[in-house]
Chain A
Amino acid sequence: MSVMVDIRSVHKSFGSLEVLKGIDLSVRAGEVTVVLGPSGSGKSTLLRTINHLEKVDRGAITVDGVLVGYRRSGNRLYELPEREVLRRRTRIGFVFQNFNLFPHLTVLDNVIEAPVSALKRPRGEAVEAARRLLERVGLADRADAYPRQLSGGQQQRVAIARALALEPGLLLFDEPTSALDPELVGEVLDVIRDLALQGRTMIVVTHEIGFAREVADTVVFMDDGRIVEQGPPTEVLERPREERTRLFLSKVL
């Protein structure tokens, strides 16, 4: 299978704090990669560098063979103008921990915003597509509600529909269930699981070990800005090779 995301020796610092200390990772198309690790391990930053919400200091990331934030010429990477970065970003869906729905827009307007304004789709077409997506996440009847009138779980499902509205080839989830009450986690994971079964390429940063075991093709364990180990869930989660992985798993399980 072809490689969808290729991350090569990525370094990133915030001031004097180095949060990514040389990450190499490749994700094949149609696979689900779950990234685990203690907080502060750099997993969210890594995810954000993939769609260029965070710039890297060194290294390169390609999505579907394309550098998201740069243009390469010889040995140099030239930063792209924002317009071009935005265009390339529409191929990547991003789901935030805090949903970040637009509170002043209805659920439907949240979902059609990007197709209409970034992809220049006709409004009628976008509305139809949005209604189908809302149906898929089980919220067809809440299209005219405002985000704050929904539960956290429903908001996150709308956020997933909003990300899907761009028909992205890659979906990134940044701790999608961490801000939810425990009883609402299941409904969001169900939606993500469905997407996985359809063969979507996804990278999910999460603390849900059970979900990782069930859905992931590859589990990546990160600590202190480095990938400690990676492999199929049966190996990383059941028979971790590294002491740090074992220690982390013993704490969260």
Chain B
Amino acid sequence: MSSDTLAKASAAPDVPEHADALRIVPHRRLGQWTAAAAVLVLLGLAVNSVLRNEAFRWDLVADYFTSDSVLRGLWLTLWLTAVVMVLGFALGTLLAAGRLSANPVLRSVSWGYVWLFRSIPILVQLLLWFNIGALYPQLFGVRTVNLFTPVAVAIIGLTLHEAAYAAEVVRGGILSVDRGQIEAAQALGLSRWRRWWRIVLPQAMRSIVPPAGNMLIGTLKGTSIVSVIAVQDLLFSVQLVYHRTYQVIPLLMVATVWYTVVTSLLGVGQHYVEKYYARGSERAR
């Protein structure tokens, strides 16, 4: 603003003597109200049709929701997710350390791993492991098909896939830690191991947890892919039922609701984990 217009503005009689008697009226946004109303109407219609459509058979959904076979499938989905996350992140952390190491061989091999396993679709990978017996009929004196059971294939395939992504998440977290932190730890004579566990990793966790939470939820749902190799997870369990009863939609609803429930619980858990790793990050009051 030029000094000219400033002078004019201050000279204008807009502001009366008693400015504190003025009331401020917010600008009404008609468009926002219309959009909100339209969305609510559409949402109401959708909910109405879901509840009123008999074909959903909510009574059957309720019946099967806690049936033994569904709960067994849910249990497999849960422990498979946990095992894959733990092993995937363990391997991913090693790969991240490899990517950041001073050793060019470790760096290249880690890079190559991430490149390869991010390139192969998980479905293709599962099928490859499932048919590994065609390449190596015998391993360690045992028939390969006996070693690579469907569950073992599921764990191996999902873990190798997970590790490639986990490696990048962990690497990003480590790079987010200020270089001065490592120098300070070196200057204090802390061992390499101690620097890593006590100084770098806890700080890296702040940037690792949000994408890791994303991956956890993705993995939970992604395990449903193992139904193609006949592992009895949540999805496969409801499929077994509807192949028998032909109640496809109600049983898919059972799976849908369970996936949603578990995902929501994981979201709550993530909130507390984030809070824990944020300690010390608030500014002075």
**Residues B184 and A96 in contact, CB atoms below 8 Å apart:** yes
Interface of A is mostly: loop
Binding-face segment, A35-43, A85-93, A125-133, A219-227: A85-93
Complex formed: what's the CA distance from A104 to B204 in Å?
Answer: 11
**Residues A113 and B188 in contact, CB atoms below 8 Å apart:** yes
In the bound complex, residues from chain A placing their C-beta under 8 Å from that of B181 are 100, 102
B21 within 8 A of A: no
Q: How many CB-defined contacts (below 8 Å) exist between A and B?
A: 83
Q: Which of B241-278 contact A (CB under 8 A)?
A: 277
In the bound complex, residues from chain B placing their C-beta under 8 Å from that of A151 are 284
**Residues A87 and B188 in contact, CB atoms below 8 Å apart:** no
B187 within 8 A of A: yes
B190 within 8 A of A: yes
In the bound complex, residues from chain A placing their C-beta under 8 Å from that of B202 are 104
Point out the residue from A53, A82, A87, A101 that lies within 8 Å of B187, measured CB to CB.
Answer: A53
Q: Closest Cβ of chain B: how far from A91's Cβ, in Å?
A: 9
Q: Please indicate which of the listed interface residues B189, B194, B281, B285 has the most CB atoms of chain A within 10 Å of its own CB.
A: B189
Complex formed: what's the CA distance from A117 to B188 in Å?
Answer: 10
**Residues B192 and A82 in contact, CB atoms below 8 Å apart:** yes
Point out the residue from A89, A105, A117, A149 that lies within 8 Å of B194, measured CB to CB.
Answer: A117
Point out the residue from B183, B190, B277, B279 that lies within 8 Å of A118, measured CB to CB.
Answer: B190
In the bound complex, residues from chain B placing their C-beta under 8 Å from that of A98 are 180
Q: Please indicate which of the listed interface residues B188, B191, B203, B277 has the most CB atoms of chain A within 10 Å of its own CB.
A: B188
A148 within 8 A of B: yes
Point out the residue from A90, A94, A104 that lies within 8 Å of B280, measured CB to CB.
Answer: A104
Point out the residue from A87, A103, A106, A148 that lies within 8 Å of B189, measured CB to CB.
Answer: A87
**Residues A148 and B281 in contact, CB atoms below 8 Å apart:** yes
In the bound complex, residues from chain B placing their C-beta under 8 Å from that of A114 are 188-190
Complex formed: what's the CA distance from A16 to B216 in Å?
Answer: 47
- Report which B residues bind A (CB closer than 8 A): 178, 180-181, 183-192, 194, 198-199, 202-203, 277, 279-285
